[in-house]
Structure 1
Amino acid sequence: MIYKLSNAVDRAQIEEEFGVHFKYPHLYTPSAIIDGFKETNVCVVTMQDKRKISFAIWGLMPQDFKEDWYIFQNNANTLNVQLQDLEKVEWMRESFVKRRCLIIVSGFYTHLLKNGKTYTYYVTLQTGKPFYLAGVYNVLEDGFQCCALITAKTNAFVSSYHDISNQAPIIIPKSHAKSWLTDDFDDNTLKEVVNSPPEVKLKATLMAKEFLKNVIPSGSILHPDFLGK
């Protein structure tokens, strides 16, 4: 599973890359580490508002849920959801059919076990540009949105840098964004995207060990000198 994301690019770069503007532009702040274990927001483009970037709490809760985020997440971690959940859990199924979204990131963090130690990698596009991850969302009783990453089995590249689980986010290329957000629900097509997503060119950078201890400033988290060590 993936519990840390990054969206470290500025607002202008995001809007230029996707041709979509922020609904509330002054609320956006670049963040090198988005920690899913804390109640935090991510940038999303939703089926209901395809031409605007809005915000959603990371961690899916049922539609019209009335209690606090931590109450639900302490009982059911829904930062990541799999296709089997979206098919078999009734309230998640509704989200998959009616409320898909694209989550904007500049990268995500993976973990590899080697010689009895844990190594963390920062996975990005080779171009360094922001990109979309497949997600689903709901709207809470107070009007706030919440969302989850949809994960699938890791491909050959990601599995080389992530073996704590066999699940990773699904990257949706810009060319497929419109299809992902379409109002017409085609179960077979969406399943194909989840199970066999389009290939994109990625790179992985090894992080400094201090990253795992949360003791280095977010603005200097990348440490290429640790690569291969």
Structure 2
Amino acid sequence: MFDHFIYKYSAFEKRCVVPITAFFEPHEYRGTKYPILFKNSKEKFLSVAGIYSITKDGFVSFSLLTKKGSPFFAKIHNTTAEPRQIILLNDILVKEWLNPDLTESHIKEIMNVQFPESELQTYSVSRDVFKQTDSNYPEILEFEEYEGLDI
């Protein structure tokens, strides 16, 4: 992020927090991918570290930041050679992340703090998540059991 001219400015000047209620990561088991839902076990939203930019014509775009996956995330997001995870921030780190006066080392320090995995609930959901048709329906968040899949 600090080595590429496109992201470096945003890293220092345009950090944001993206609130989400849940997210999905793929898990491969016996050659088939299964969607695993992650959500806060305390029924709160999750705060994801992000950066944003504003185009000359006023459009705002943002990116969710990722880092190398912890062993917990690597076990689930096992579909790539280098497992990754989004950067989740606890309430204290949210305030720090939005501080406009952070140095590069402080930004990196915040990015490397591991969100307490005990506060995450994970379970498999419908493979409809992977369909190109609309999977935006409430039942998509419900647990779905698959034989042999043990997450």
Instruction: Give the TM-score, by structure 1 length.
Output: 0.58
How many positions carry a matched residue from both structures?
A: 144
> In structure 2, what residue type is equivalent to 1:199?
P
Q: Does 1:118 align with 2:33?
A: yes
The root-mean-square deviation of aligned C-alpha atoms, in Å, is 1.8
Distance 1:218 1:111 in 2: 19
Gaps of 5+ in 1: 1-85
- Give the conservation status (yes or no) of the 8 Å contact 2:37–2:124: yes
Q: Pick one of 162, 168, 187 that aligns with 2:104.
A: 187
Distance 1:164 1:197 in 2: 21
Q: How much has 1:215 moved relative to structure 2?
A: 6.1
- Give the conservation status (yes or no) of the 8 Å contact 1:161–1:204: no
Q: How much has 1:141 moved relative to structure 2?
A: 1.2
- Give the conservation status (yes or no) of the 8 Å contact 1:205–1:222: no
Counterparts in 2 of 1:202 and 1:96: CA distance versus 1, 3 Å: same
Distance 2:12 2:116 in 1: 24
- Give the conservation status (yes or no) of the 8 Å contact 2:36–2:122: yes
Q: How much has 1:135 moved relative to structure 2?
A: 0.4
Quote the residue 2:128 is aligned against: 210
Q: Choose 134-143 or 194-203, whichever is displaced more.
A: 194-203
Gaps of 5+ in 2: none
Q: How much has 1:185 moved relative to structure 2?
A: 2.1
- Give the conservation status (yes or no) of the 8 Å contact 1:134–1:149: yes
Q: Does 1:222 align with 2:141?
A: yes
- Give the conservation status (yes or no) of the 8 Å contact 2:73–2:84: no
Q: How much has 1:225 moved relative to structure 2?
A: 3.8
Quote the residue 2:73 is aligned against: 158
Secondary structure of 2:99's partner? coil
Correspondence list, 1:1-229, <5 A: 86-165=1-80, 166-200=83-117, 201-213=119-131, 214=133, 216=135, 218-226=137-145, 229=149
Q: Choose 156-165 or 180-189, whichever is displaced more.
A: 156-165
Instruction: Give the TM-score, by structure 2 length.
Output: 0.85
Per chain length, whose mean CA-contact separation is higher, i.e. which structure has more relative contact order (CA < 8 Å, sep 6+)? 2
Secondary structure of 1:160's partner? helix
Identical counterparts, % of pairs: 22
Q: How much has 1:131 moved relative to structure 2?
A: 1.6
CA deviations on 1:84-138 (whole Å, 9 max, x unpaired) are xx11111210110111000110111101111111111011111121121000001
